[in-house]
Chains A and B, each alone.
Chain A
Amino acid sequence: MTTQIVLPVELDAVRQTSVNNGEPAWLTESRANGVKLAQELELPRLEKMKIERWDLSNFGQLREGYAASAQQLPDSVASLVDLKEHSNLIVQVNSSTQFAQLSPELAAKGVIFTDLETAVREHGDLVQRYLHQAVKSDENRLTALHSALWSGGIFLYVPRNVEIEIPLQSIFVQEDDKTTFAPHILIVAEANSRVTYVDNYFSAQFDKTIVHSGVAEVFVQAGAKVQFATVHNLGSSTTDLSYRRGIVENDGSIEWIIGEMNFGDVMSETLSILKGNGSLSDMKVIAVGSGSQKLNYTTKAVHFGKSSESQMITRAVMREQSTAIINGITKIEKGATKANGEQTEKVLMLSPKARGDANPILLIDEDDVKAGHAASVGQVNQEQIYYLMSRGITREQAERLVIYGFLAPVVTEIPLEPLQQQLQGLVERKLGQ
């Protein structure tokens, strides 16, 4: 028996908005199907956390019509970007595009970098082929709702053999609590292409809690290389529900760099599906919890390909009464011989009221593999603080050094200098310094 669920959306309204927005029939159907699935499916089951108790009532209203792109950078994000002639940037506010720029050189090479709704209109077949194929709408109520409600977001398509040096960047800002906040990122990197994508999420402070329902799907074709960096810095009244998933073909590689710098509750899952032989995945997550945040982070790699390799590192610093459940799952399927999966989850507790749980899980169905995990939850080592203070460093500064030292193995490995600095700044802010 399924209990009757009161959904934050109605089928007729979703269908009508889609039609009014001039979306193709396949998309209207896909959205309607999402609503129907949401009625049937349950919320995902989270390890040691009851998402059923979270306030997920406010998914907002789907925006009708498109605001013409103003081609003006909102002040709030101007400091984040160093806009040059060759920059590639999309900025969306309340899921409407405010600014979009793709360098003519990349456009000439056939690169598509646009908001997803425009892509549906201009490259419908391409989008239809990939949309919801990595994160399927029928997985649970959240993925179903996302497929019904997604709005704004990015389509990035890199043709075969095209190698892009400079990162493509997008910024999502939510300033009102009425419009749906559900951007969908769809990246297709064709064979032997190379690209770096970086995005940032911000939201204002609201009277009621809103939901950010985000999905990122990345298709890494044979020999392609994708770097995906994302920094979530949403306000305390935004609950972040994010699924990120990459499907990696033969000899392809994906590198995830994730900064969990939100102030509200978070459920996030980042998953690499290593389909191809010789495929690689590298995940680095840094997180700082504060206030009474409830955080549930999952990193996961599933190995199908022979000699596929995955690395996952999560480092979380927990302040005040925040709670984090950190799951690392390495799954090696039968036949994935010579696969290698390594994971580490470490939590540093700064307060006796903070809670941190690291759950490393290895699921291995093949003998000829290597896999390893390490997990730890600990407090700041007072012997270390004493040592630093004995050199004249104040307690505050000593703690700071130890905390940054804890995060350093991830931060220093971030291959993009500006991102490293941005994360450093956000960590400082979250640590209240």
Chain B
Amino acid sequence: MTKFVVEGLKATIEGKEILKGIDLEIKGGEIHAIMGPNGTGKSTLASALMGHPKYEVTDGSVSMNGEDVLEMSVDERARAGLFLAMQYPSEIAGVTNSDFLRSAINARREEGNEISLIKFIRQMEGKMKELEMNPEFAHRYLNEGFSGGEKKRNEILQMMMIEPKLVILDEVDSGLDIDALRIVANGVNSMRDEDRGFLIITHYQRLLNYIKPDVVHVMMQGRIVKSGGPELAERLERDGYDWVKEELGITDETVGQEA
């Protein structure tokens, strides 16, 4: 049973503290959403959890089924079951999408037990079809020249192929047209599983209409300042963040400001 626990997580970038103590507990089968104004540390949280080298964790702990995630290198975290669909995925020229995906899958398998090419292609083609991606994207260079929406779809394709235990989606809905939003949401829903947890960072209730969250968190000033059920997201969509700030006495919600 997947259990992902973040306790008192603090992180800095270039000496500047961005995360000021985050607590989260996500179990298999649960969907958590994080909302919050721009510049409040949402992507920083995602990057720090994944182990981006620019972020230095200064305090707190992260564990995945009891294992210390912060001790692991980026690739070890991934192989332990963590997956981050990035807000701004990298473009890598010369590496085809399919070669990359096959490497990612084989990285999880013993040497000599690599996935057969036929099986891999069949799987990938199947998932691409579900995501209504043109088959040519298998042979395109990784994210190179992909439109914003195509990159997001490609992140979801990777998630579906890799089958991680804890999925973090950082604004996977931004830049998607209405149809693409539905397709991506269907992709995510098809991956819902008793043993898989989700942390979905989004600005819009729209995505949460498709993917029903169990818990909604609001992030401001590098902290989770409020948590609630799906109705919290609906209220934020309707009324914005001012009432939350008022409630908590926050004037500037961005990181670096104190209540």
Q: What is A's interface to B at a CB cutoff of 8 Å?
A: 381-384, 386-395, 397-398, 401-402, 404-409
Shortest beta-carbon distance from B32 to chain A in Å: 20
B162 near A391 with CB under 8 A, answer yes
A392 near B99 with CB under 8 A, answer no
Q: Which of A382, A392, A394, A401 sits near B95, CB closer than 8 Å? A: A401
Instruction: Answer whether A408 and B75 are a contact pair too, CB < 8 Å, given A387-B89, A388-B100, A401-B103.
Output: no
Of A389, A398, A402, A406, most buried by chain B (CB within 10 Å of CB) is A389
B92 near A402 with CB under 8 A, answer yes
Q: Which residues of B contact A405 (CB under 8 A)?
A: 92-95, 141
Where chain A touches its partner, the secondary structure class is helix
Q: 5 tightest CB-CB pairs across the interface, nearest first?
A: A405-B94, A408-B94, A392-B78, A387-B90, A391-B104
Given contacts A384-B92, A389-B78, A394-B107, 6 further A-B contacts (CB under 8 A): A386-B90, A390-B84, A393-B104, A401-B100, A405-B94, A405-B95
B75 near A389 with CB under 8 A, answer yes
Q: Please list 27 pairs of residues, one from A and one from B, whose beta carbons are closer than 8 Å in the complex, sorted by A's number.
A: A386-B52, A386-B53, A387-B89, A387-B92, A388-B92, A389-B73, A389-B78, A390-B83, A390-B84, A390-B86, A391-B78, A391-B107, A391-B158, A391-B162, A392-B75, A392-B108, A393-B78, A395-B73, A395-B75, A401-B99, A401-B103, A405-B93, A405-B141, A406-B93, A407-B94, A408-B94, A409-B94
CA distance A391 to B83 in the complex (A): 7
Q: Which of A382, A395, A397, A408 sits near B103, CB closer than 8 Å? A: A397
Q: Which chain B residues in 90-135 approach chain A with CB under 8 Å? A: 90, 92-95, 99-100, 103-104, 107-108
Q: What is B's interface to A at a CB cutoff of 8 Å?
A: 50-53, 73-75, 77-79, 83-84, 86, 89-90, 92-95, 99-100, 103-104, 107-108, 141, 158, 162
Shortest beta-carbon distance from A84 to chain B in Å: 28
Q: Which residues of A contact B103 (CB under 8 A)?
A: 388, 393, 397, 401
Of B51, B73, B103, most buried by chain A (CB within 10 Å of CB) is B103
Shortest beta-carbon distance from B191 to chain A in Å: 16
Shortest beta-carbon distance from B220 to chain A in Å: 26
Shortest beta-carbon distance from B20 to chain A in Å: 24
CA distance A85 to B223 in the complex (A): 75
A404 near B104 with CB under 8 A, answer no
Chain A residue nearest to B77 (CB atoms) is A390
CA distance A383 to B83 in the complex (A): 16
CA distance A389 to B90 in the complex (A): 12
Chain A residue nearest to B82 (CB atoms) is A390
Instruction: Answer whether A384 and B100 are a contact pair too, CB < 8 Å, given A389-B75, A392-B78, A393-B107.
Output: no
Instruction: Answer whether A392 and B53 are a contact pair too, CB < 8 Å, given A401-B92, A404-B94, A406-B94.
Output: no
Q: Which residues of B contact A397 (CB under 8 A)?
A: 103, 107
B93 near A392 with CB under 8 A, answer no
CA distance A389 to B80 in the complex (A): 12
Shortest beta-carbon distance from A316 to chain B in Å: 14
Chain A residue nearest to B86 (CB atoms) is A387
CA distance A162 to B89 in the complex (A): 52
Of A388, A391, A393, A402, most buried by chain B (CB within 10 Å of CB) is A391
Q: Which of A384, A394, A406 sits near B90, CB closer than 8 Å? A: A384
Q: Which residues of A contact B90 (CB under 8 A)?
A: 381, 383-384, 386-387
CA distance A390 to B158 in the complex (A): 11
Q: Which residues of A contact B74 (CB under 8 A)?
A: 386, 389-390
Chain B residue nearest to A398 (CB atoms) is B75
Chain B residue nearest to A403 (CB atoms) is B94
Q: Which residues of A contact B107 (CB under 8 A)?
A: 391-394, 397
A393 near B95 with CB under 8 A, answer no
Q: Which of A382, A388, A392, A407 sits near B79, CB closer than 8 Å? A: A392
Chain A residue nearest to B164 (CB atoms) is A392
Q: Which residues of A contact B162 (CB under 8 A)?
A: 391-392
Q: Which residues of A contact B89 (CB under 8 A)?
A: 387
Shortest beta-carbon distance from B48 to chain A in Å: 13
Q: Which residues of B contact A383 (CB under 8 A)?
A: 90
CA distance A381 to B79 in the complex (A): 22
CA distance A397 to B75 in the complex (A): 11
CA distance A407 to B92 in the complex (A): 12
Chain B residue nearest to A407 (CB atoms) is B94
CA distance A408 to B100 in the complex (A): 14
Shortest beta-carbon distance from A272 to chain B in Å: 26
Shortest beta-carbon distance from B75 to chain A in Å: 4
Instruction: Answer whether A402 and B53 are a contact pair too, CB < 8 Å, given A389-B75, A390-B84.
Output: no
Chain B residue nearest to A405 (CB atoms) is B94
B50 near A390 with CB under 8 A, answer yes
Shortest beta-carbon distance from B81 to chain A in Å: 10
Shortest beta-carbon distance from A375 to chain B in Å: 16
Q: Which residues of A contact B50 (CB under 8 A)?
A: 390
Q: Which residues of B contact A390 (CB under 8 A)?
A: 50-51, 74-75, 77-78, 83-84, 86
Shortest beta-carbon distance from B13 to chain A in Å: 14
Shortest beta-carbon distance from A202 to chain B in Å: 28
CA distance A384 to B142 in the complex (A): 10
Of B50, B90, B108, most buried by chain A (CB within 10 Å of CB) is B90
CA distance A404 to B142 in the complex (A): 13
Shortest beta-carbon distance from A408 to chain B in Å: 3
Q: Which residues of B contact A382 (CB under 8 A)?
A: 53
Shortest beta-carbon distance from A278 to chain B in Å: 32
Shortest beta-carbon distance from A384 to chain B in Å: 5
Q: Which residues of B contact A384 (CB under 8 A)?
A: 90, 92
Q: Which of B75, B78, B95 sits near A402, CB closer than 8 Å? A: B95
CA distance A405 to B100 in the complex (A): 10
CA distance A409 to B144 in the complex (A): 13
Shortest beta-carbon distance from B36 to chain A in Å: 22
Q: Which residues of A contact B51 (CB under 8 A)?
A: 390
Shortest beta-carbon distance from A280 to chain B in Å: 25
Q: Which residues of A contact B77 (CB under 8 A)?
A: 390
CA distance A94 to B141 in the complex (A): 44
CA distance A386 to B84 in the complex (A): 11
Q: Which residues of A contact B108 (CB under 8 A)?
A: 392
